[in-house]
Amino acid sequence: MSGPLRVLIVDDEAPARSRMRDLLADVSAVLPVEIAGEAANGREALRLAQSGEIDVVLLDVRMPGMDGIEVAQHLQKLELPPAVIFATAYDAYAIRAFDLHAVDYLLKPIRAARLQEALSRAVHNIAPAAALRDLQQAPRACLSAAERGKVHLIPVEEVLYLRAELKYVTVRTAAREHLIEESLTRLEEEFGEIFVRVHRNCLVARAAIRGFEREGGESGEGPWRVVLADLEERIPVSRRQQHLVRELAR
């Protein structure tokens, strides 16, 4: 590639970011690098990465709010995703990262020579999205939708339902709909405690359920439908899932 490698440093601890700056200064004597920005949390990292001016993200794993694994997943939705190098003091993640072919995984304290090696590898490698999903141990705080070349974060707590449509999933909030390219089954596995399947192609947020009604009114004998908070739309309950009406209406 032409020009220096543009690096984004992401760590919630200021001393760690300062140390990484010093290491990059040492590396720059051998490998042209440029610090393109710094972020103290996941959301700020995503905002900076969406500028399209980032080649590599040096990413801490343990951060409050959105951890590094989730940040890396969202980065994969970018039109030109940067390479990701994890940098952490926790070796418990390292073995799994290497097994899953992550770009690289640096264990603190990091040596300049080791960082140089990782950056050289990152020029030609981007961590597979599937590997990042396997690395994650806790459900994501946000889903992400690629819209007009940018990543739009959708807090899971704001989602009313998830509906599979062909190869996409519609994510419905009180404000609007988003389309994401994820498997409904995979989402159910990850967020099973938050959402419940009411139909083969639809999961609804348990906390958003306000009741059930029959099609045709109280005296009707039509199928049950879910009433969700802040939404006029009613979600049909399949025959196979009719038992949920009794269980969730208690």
User: Per residue in 29-80, pLDDT tens?
Assistant: 999 999 999 999 999 999 999 877 888 999 998 899 998 888 888 888 887 7
Domains of the chain: 5-135 (3.40.50.2300), 142-248 (2.40.50.1020)
What are the residues facing 142 on neighbouring strands? 155
pTM value? 0.64
Confidence of residue 10 (pLDDT cuts 50, 70, 90): very high
pLDDT score of 22 more than 60: yes
Find the DSSP H helices in the chain. Answer: 14-27, 42-49, 68-75, 92-99, 112-122, 129-135, 184-190, 243-248
Q: Decide if 88 contacts 61 (C-beta within 8 A).
A: yes
User: Per residue in 23-41, pLDDT tens?
Assistant: 999 999 999 999 999 999 9
Confidence of residue 243 (pLDDT cuts 50, 70, 90): confident
What number is the average pLDDT over the span 205-223?
Answer: 82
What number is the average pLDDT over the span 168-196?
Answer: 94
What number is the average pLDDT over the span 117-127?
Answer: 76
Query: Percent of the chain having pLDDT more than 90?
Result: 54
